[in-house]
Amino acid sequence: MQDISLEQAISVLLEHTKKIEAVEEVPLLEALGRVLAEDAVATFDNPPFDRSPLDGYTFAAAGTKGATKEAPAAFTVIGEECAGDFFAAEVPAGSAVRLMTGAAIPKGCDCVVRQEDVTVEDGRIFVPYELHHHENYCFAGEDVRKGTRAVERGTELTAAHLGVLASLGFGTVKVLRRPRVAIASTGDELVLPGEPLRPGKIYNSNLYALAGRLREMGFCPEVIGILPDDAQQAASVIAGCRGKVDLFLTTGGVSVGKKDIMHEVVRLIGTRLFWRVCIKPGAPVIAYTVGDMLGIALSGNPFASYATFELLTRPVLEAFSGRSSVAGRAVEGFLADAFPKPSYGRRFIRAHYEAGIFEIPAQHDSGSLFSAAGCNALIDIPAGTGPLMAGTRVKGVLL
């Protein structure tokens, strides 16, 4: 099989990715980042009643006609209402109710005066200027009218959406089921952080970097852990997830070494879609299916798996969720630093991008993730490019 281009690889993966249409109802507090499955329509006017925007007094504005500092209008204060109280009686002309910001405006009243603008004496207030009908007055429904489509189906819910939905009384919302992603690392050399490091072993960093990346993107990966370099055992774990998982992600075991087991795993349980993509790092990626579960086996080198996760897995995750931010992540800019290596094949290098400038860290080996920690972009260097000088214009993609 010949190496395929990155674009071909993405298109093969997307052919095997179905948008998830299943719906589940979740508590509103757990709905951040989820995709709304049906329009959220306001079932009442919000705010639900006419209310005061000030701490002050409410009365009929007509009673202030001709009022001046010298000849203020007087009102008898017949009650008090804090936000949350409800003053049910009608307020007669010449009377006022003291009320706090957010309190409902009682019947008979049509304006509010700030409490610091009036004088209070013996249960009466003196208003030194004229007020108009509906002055300092908030109307029922002025935020959201009953029947308004407050949040549209398909919206990825942000914090502001949660606030709007809460204001309209939605305790739960119907959202699309999230893609179920399982993640594992292969390799007998791997040890979980926290355990002692024996000779020849290394700590498993891919599992943490990719599980973290999935969580940053709003997914809840099922973290399987380390699969041994035994194709039968690894195959049985992966096949056991069929029907429960949409995407099984692994790292390691995809090259040509003695223990590169993923080839055998795919032979045992699935159908290979492709092996090897014309990119550096991470070329030896395998894509496969096990029934309707998609598998992506990324290469084990930490930066290779980190970069190919962005380039190959992220479009799949977005397609599962019905989103596509891939195009929106493309950026162009100038190199702050030289990149002295020629790129015979298409190469992606880590960089920090800001305001049109890409800074490249000194360390960019596929086996090292250390310098990726300060990076937020991958520079896309076309095949056949010679050494690059500082100031060269390049394209990239934001992580």
User: Phi, psi at residue 8, to the nearest 5°?
Assistant: -65, -40
Tell me: does residue 257 bind ligand LQZAQKY5 (CB under 6 A): yes
Q: Quick one: which segment of 55-63, 121-129, 246-254, 340-348 binds ligand LQZAQKY5 (CB under 6 A)?
A: 246-254
Q: Quick one: which segment of 222-230, 279-287, 324-332, 372-380 binds ligand MOO (CB under 6 A)?
A: 279-287
Q: Which residue is nearest to ligand LQZAQKY5 (CB)?
A: 300
Closer CB to ligand LQZAQKY5, residue 33 or residue 345? 345
Tell me: does residue 301 bind ligand MOO (CB under 6 A): yes
**Helices and strands of the chain, counted as H and E runs:** 7, 23
Tell me: does residue 255 bind ligand LQZAQKY5 (CB under 6 A): yes
CA distance 105 to 111: 8
Selected from 113, 283, 369, 397, the binder of ligand MOO by CB under 6 A is 283
Per-position DSSP letters for 319-386, written without gaps between them: HHTT---TGGGEEEEEESS-B-S-BSS-EEEEEEEETTEEE--S---TT--GGGGG--EEEEEPTTB-
CA distance 20 to 320: 5
Tell me: does residue 304 bind ligand MOO (CB under 6 A): yes
Q: Is the C-alpha dihedral spanning 305, 309, 312, 313 positive or negative?
A: positive
Tokens of 248: 């099984």
User: Phi, psi at residue 278, to the nearest 5°?
Assistant: -75, 70
Selected from 63, 141, 179, 252, the binder of ligand LQZAQKY5 by CB under 6 A is 252
Tell me: does residue 304 bind ligand LQZAQKY5 (CB under 6 A): yes
Binding mask 341-380 for ligand MOO (x = CB under 6 A): -------------------------x--------------
The residue ranges that bind ligand LQZAQKY5 (CB under 6 A) are: 185, 187, 189-190, 202, 204-207, 251-257, 260, 281-284, 299-302, 304, 366-367
